[in-house]
């Protein structure tokens, strides 16, 4: 019994000593707040540094060196060819295969090209079977030229001074023949006439009598002589006109 009381007394004394020691310890000092100085009212607000504004420590790259442009080579115009001294004639015809002559020299059959033709007056003759030959005089100049010779075209330009014999008296005038017809021009208005070549009923020449007879279809008859008293002018006039009359009668162009 006494032992239990003793233990209880010891425990009580230890408890009292512990409480006493707890309340008699010095408390830990409280932390002292640190005050920051306020910035002056006129001072600008601090600006946060931007990464883009921070000077780079890397040296900027140098621009690539430019290669100077090469000057374009000067364009030199090709020299002009020398002016031709001869002519080149390209000769064609409305009748293929027509024979072509220049100054009586055979060149070939149309179409044909004649080169190195000397400038000046040149005679061109073209012939084809069934057509009247054509002779033309050309004034040739240096250079190239196209020449077309038509064998189908009727060419007639003839005239002769003539005397029209009346039953009583006569009158003088001129007979003119073209593809449009035959006409007699005179100061005597009653004797003048115009008639198509196909409108001639009679067209004949008497070489010995030096006379040309003209009879209009359904009209008058005219007797002509040459004013110079020769037969040749009327004869050649008749030959040229009658050749065209025959072509027209045969349907030739």
Residue 183: pLDDT above 90?
yes
For 136-156, the pLDDT digits (tens) are: 999 999 999 999 999 988 889
- What does the CA dihedral 112, 116, 119, 125 come to, rounded to 10 degrees? -30
Stretch 200-224: mean pLDDT: 94
Q: What is the pLDDT of residue 58?
A: 57
Question: What is the spatial distance between Cα 163 and Cα 219, in angstroms, rounded to a whole number?
Answer: 19
Q: What is the pLDDT of residue 53?
A: 46
Question: What is the spatial distance between Cα 132 and Cα 120, in angstroms, rounded to a whole number?
Answer: 26
Q: What share of the chain is helix, strand, coil (3-state, %, to 5)?
A: 15, 35, 50
Q: CA nearest 211: which of 182, 234, 178, 183?
A: 234
Structure-token match 């295969």, residue found: 97
229 burial type by CB count under 10 A (0-12 exposed, 13-18 middle, 19+ buried): exposed
Q: Write out the two tokens for 79.
A: 């020299």
Residue 176: pLDDT above 80?
yes
- What does the CA dihedral 35, 36, 41, 44 come to, rounded to 10 degrees? -170
* Least confident window among 13-27, 109-123, 180-194: 13-27
Count Cβ atoms below 10 Å from residue 91 Cβ, excluding itself: 22
- Cα–Cα distance list, 29 to 22, 26, 32 (Å): 17, 9, 9
Question: What is the spatial distance between Cα 107 and Cα 91, in angstroms, rounded to a whole number?
Answer: 10
- Show the domains of the chain with their CATH numbers: 87-149 (2.60.40.1120), 158-249 (2.30.29.30)
Q: CA nearest 108: which of 94, 121, 90?
A: 90
**Phi (first) and psi of residue 59, to 5 degrees:** -65, 135
Stretch 17-32: mean pLDDT: 56
- Beta bridge partners, 241, equal none
For 219-239, the pLDDT digits (tens) are: 999 999 999 999 999 999 999
Q: What is the pLDDT of residue 107?
A: 95
- Beta bridge partners, 113, equal 90
Please answer whether residues 150 and 91 qualify as being in contact, where contact means their C-beta atoms are separated by less than 8 angstroms.
no
Residue 121: pLDDT above 70?
yes
Binning pLDDT at 50, 70 and 90, where does residue 57 land? low
Residue, of 114 and 36, whose pLDDT is higher: 114
Average pLDDT, the chain: 82
**Phi (first) and psi of residue 177, to 5 degrees:** -125, 130
**Phi (first) and psi of residue 170, to 5 degrees:** -160, 170
């Amino acid at each position: 019994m006494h032992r239990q009381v003793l233990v209880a007394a010891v425990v009580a004394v230890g408890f009292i000593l512990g409480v006493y020691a707890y309340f008699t310890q010095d408390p830990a000092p409280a932390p002292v707040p640190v005050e920051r100085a306020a910035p002056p009212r006129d001072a600008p607000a601090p600006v946060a540094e931007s990464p883009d504004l921070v000077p780079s420590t890397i040296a900027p790259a140098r621009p690539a060196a430019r290669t100077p442009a090469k000057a374009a080579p000067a364009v030199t115009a090709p020299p002009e060819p020398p002016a031709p001294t001869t002519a080149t004639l390209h000769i064609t015809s409305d009748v293929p295969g027509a024979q072509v002559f220049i100054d009586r020299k055979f060149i070939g059959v149309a179409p044909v090209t004649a080169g190195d033709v000397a400038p000046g007056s040149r005679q061109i003759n073209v012939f084809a079977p069934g057509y009247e030959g054509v002779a033309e005089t050309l004034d040739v100049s240096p250079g190239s030229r196209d020449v077309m010779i038509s064998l189908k075209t009727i060419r007639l330009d003839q005239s002769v001074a003539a005397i029209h014999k009346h039953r009583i008296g006569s009158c003088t005038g001129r007979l003119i023949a073209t593809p449009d017809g035959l006409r007699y021009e005179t100061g005597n208005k009653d004797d003048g006439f115009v008639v198509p070549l196909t409108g001639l009923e009679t067209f004949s020449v008497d070489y010995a009598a030096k006379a040309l007879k003209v009879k209009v279809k359904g009209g008058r008859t005219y007797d002509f002589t040459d004013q110079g008293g020769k037969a040749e002018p009327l004869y050649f006039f008749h030959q040229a006109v009658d050749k065209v009359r025959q072509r027209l009668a045969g349907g030739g162009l």
